[in-house]
Amino acid sequence: MYGKKKWIVMVVSMVFMLGLAACSDTDDKDVEEEEEEKTMVFSDALEQYPVWFYLHGEPNEPTKDSTIREMFVFEGEQIQQFDLEPVDITLGEVSEYSDEELISYVEEELSAASDSYEEPEAKNYTLDIHLFDDDESDNSEEKTGVIDVVIDEEEIAFVAWEQPISQTIGEADFIGLVNDGDPEVDADELFITRVDEPSLTITLDQPDTTKSVVTVQEWMERQKQKDLEGQDLEALAEEELEKINNHPGADIYAQNCLSCHGENLEGSIGPDLTLAGDRFSEEELKDISQNGKDNMPPIMSDNEEDADVLAEWLSEFMKE
């Protein structure tokens, strides 16, 4: 009888232990799923991880040898933008420092590279969100939105698609967003930061957010309004009009651009160009004429001399 009771106790104990193990496995799976599904909106990520890097890397895969082009430091509602082009700092190097040590290291390197180096001014910034409709994106499954990091409501610091990336380099984990996810592009532009949660995924803030640093499509609307405003060239003084018309860029414009942008640059199929010199640098204008932009095809890909003259003309005269 005793042996039978002992056997029953052993069976009950085994069932109890198996039940505990099953519960434990379920709990572990729940924890793993929670870790896998953890997300953070972009504005929160800037608060928790204030140092971010802009760089080129293999498609979606930054490496220890990826050179950092710019470093951004976010604090409150302000941003500092460090141009790292004068120095050669790689992602592998920054993995070794804390945020405070890294900022000091970057400033030391920039000071050594130029006697005239000055710490960049902290400026106000906003995060302007643009969410695409299905017909606005070539691949709506991957590109559901874009975020513009805008400085002082005027200058774009960075643009990132809602296409998250993550990468471990050495002992450091990096996450961020991609600027261009085109698989045919040799290298993507990446906007990333170091984190202590490698399973974290960045998402865009939603339009109903109440955060003061987040706006919804305000930057793009301002640009559209500028395109609509333009200036009336015919209302300029006769002397100024004569300078514009006598510049060789006027003839190049008439031969290559007039049919789409209008006789007086007021816009037609293409946008108004009467303030193109305010919106783009001379180098950017040349690049647009040679490589195209948005729906505009290249028009001077084989004529660098004319592209230089046209860019100079637009940059000099088409501004307020």
Q: Residues 168-198: pLDDT tens digits?
A: 888 889 998 886 544 444 556 788 999 988 7
Please state the pTM of the whole predicted model.
Answer: 0.61
| Domain assignment of residue 22, yes or no | no
In a domain? residue 176: yes
First CA to last CA distance, the chain: 104
**Claim to verify: residue 145 and residue 202 sit in the same structural domain:** yes
Q: Looking at 161, 194, 218, which one is the last position of a domain? A: 218
Do 133 and 213 fall into the same domain? Answer: yes
Give the number of other Cβ atoms within 10 Å of residue 246's Cβ. 10
* CATH code of 268's domain: 1.10.760.10
Averaged pLDDT for residues 238-242: 87
In a domain, 140, yes or no: yes
In angstroms, the CA 113 to CA 154 distance is 29
- The predicted model gives 45-51 an average pLDDT of 95
Same domain, 166 and 297: no
Q: Could you read off the pLDDT of 101-110 as tens digits, one per residue?
A: 999 999 999 9
Residue 225 within any structural domain of the chain: no
Expressed as residue numbers, the domain containing 205 is: 41-218
Q: Which of 218, 241, 273 is the last residue of a domain?
A: 218
Q: What percent of the chain has pLDDT over 90?
A: 30
Question: Does residue 31 lie in a domain region?
Answer: no
Q: What are phi and psi of 223, to 5 degrees?
A: -65, -40
Tell me the C-alpha distance between 27 and 24, whole Å.
5
With respect to residue 166, please indicate whether it lies within any of the assigned structural domains.
Answer: yes
Domain count, the chain: 2
pLDDT tens digits, one per residue of 82-101: 999 899 999 988 888 999 99
